Amino acid sequence: MELSTVSYRVEDGVAIIGMNRQKAMNSLNQQLFVDMTTAFEAARDDAAVRCVIFTGEGRCFCAGGDIAEMKGIVTNEAFVTFMTIAGGFTKLLNNFPKPVIAAAHGAIAGAGTSLMMGCDVAIVADNASFIVAFGAVGLIPDCGLHYLLPRVVGPNRAKEMMLTQRPVKADELLALGIANKVVPAEELMDTAMKMAKKIARGPLNAYAMSKALFNKYAEVDLATMLADEARDQASARTDVNGEEGLGAFLEKRPANFQ
C-alpha cells in the first residue's frame, strides 16, 4: 500500500491513520482524500484491525481544505469531481463498520471539523481549536457538516459557528458534546490508544450493527427502529460473540470476543 499523504500502522489490533501533509497543516487536497480512502479500506478489510485511531501528524489535526488547490479548480464540472472524491471518503468514514476514534489537536478547521465529527468518539487535546471556517473563503461547509453539526449542537449554534467562524476551544467542545474527552496535548495519543485497545477487545459484530442503528436514528420512526433492533439483536444473540458474552457473564469470567 503506497500512501504519499497518510501514515498508517497497526499496533495491538488498532490501526493508527494519520493525515500527513505536515508542511500544509494537513490541508485536504485530492490526493489526501484518495489516500485516506485507501487507508480506511485497508483497515476495514484487515481482520487484525479491530479499532481505528484517526489523527493528524505534526502541528495539528487538519487546517481544512487546500485553498491553493481549490483555487486552481475553475470549472463547475472539475469542482464537482473534487467534491465527489471527498464525499466518497466522507461516506466511508461515517459508515465505517469498525469503531473510529478521532485524536485531534491544534487546528481543527474547515472540513477538518467534518472529519472529526464523522468519527464515533472524539478525544481532543487542550490546545484544540475547532473553526467552521468556510465563510472566510466564500464557501459553505462540506464533507457532511450540515448533517453532522446540528445533530450535536442544534441548528442555531451550528449556524452561529458558521456565520462567525469563531474558534471553539477545547473546554467548549466538551461542553457542547462535540468532544468526548479533553486531555493534555502530550497525553492525546496515549489516551486514544488506551480507549482503542479496550474497544478492540469487544464484540465487533455487535458494535457494527449498533453503529449503523445510531446513524439511522434521526431518519426513522420508533416502530421502524424497534423492528431493526429486534432483527439485529437476534443476529447478535445467535453469533459466536453473543454466545461467548452471555456464557462469560454467567461463568463470571472475562469474555473472549472474536
Return the bridge partners of 123, or none.
103, 181
Helix (H) or strand (E) segment spanning residue 14: strand 14-19
Q: What is the pLDDT along the chain (258 residues), one digit of tens a residue?
A: 889 999 999 999 999 999 999 999 999 999 999 999 999 999 999 999 999 999 999 999 999 999 999 999 989 999 999 999 999 999 999 999 999 999 999 999 999 999 999 999 999 999 999 999 999 999 999 999 999 999 999 999 999 999 999 999 999 999 999 999 999 999 999 999 999 999 999 999 999 999 999 998 878 887 887 888 788 888 888 899 988 988 888 899 999 999
Do residues 42 and 24 both lie within one domain?
A: yes
Residue where the block lists cell 426513522: 220
Do residues 59 and 171 both lie within one domain?
A: yes
Alpha helices in 21-169 (DSSP H): 30-45, 67-71, 76-94, 111-117, 145-153, 155-164
pTM of the model: 0.93
Strand 168-169: give its sheet, edge to edge: 107-109, 129-131, 168-169
Q: How far apart are CA 193 and CA 101, in angstroms?
A: 9
Do residues 194 and 210 both lie within one domain?
A: no
Measuring CA to CA, which residue among 134, 1, 121, 128 is closest to residue 53? Answer: 121
Do residues 196 and 211 both lie within one domain?
A: no
Do residues 122 and 181 both lie within one domain?
A: yes
Query: How crowded is residue 130: how many other Cβ atoms within 10 Å of its Cβ?
Result: 27
Q: Is residue 51 part of a domain?
A: yes
Instruction: Give Cα 117 distance to the centre of its chain.
Output: 6
Q: How far apart are CA 212 and CA 74, in angstroms?
A: 37
- ∠ CA 84-177-202, nearest 5°, is 80
Range(s) of the domain holding residue 31: 6-200
Number of domains in the chain: 2
User: Of 200, 216, 238, which residue constitutes the final position of a domain?
Assistant: 200
Do residues 208 and 132 both lie within one domain?
A: no
Q: How far apart are CA 37 and CA 17, in angstroms?
A: 11
49's grid cell: 484491525
Q: How far apart are CA 242 and CA 244, in angstroms?
A: 5
Q: How far apart are CA 246 and CA 240, in angstroms?
A: 10
Do residues 166 and 46 both lie within one domain?
A: yes
Do residues 65 and 171 both lie within one domain?
A: yes
The CATH number of the domain holding residue 129 is 3.90.226.10
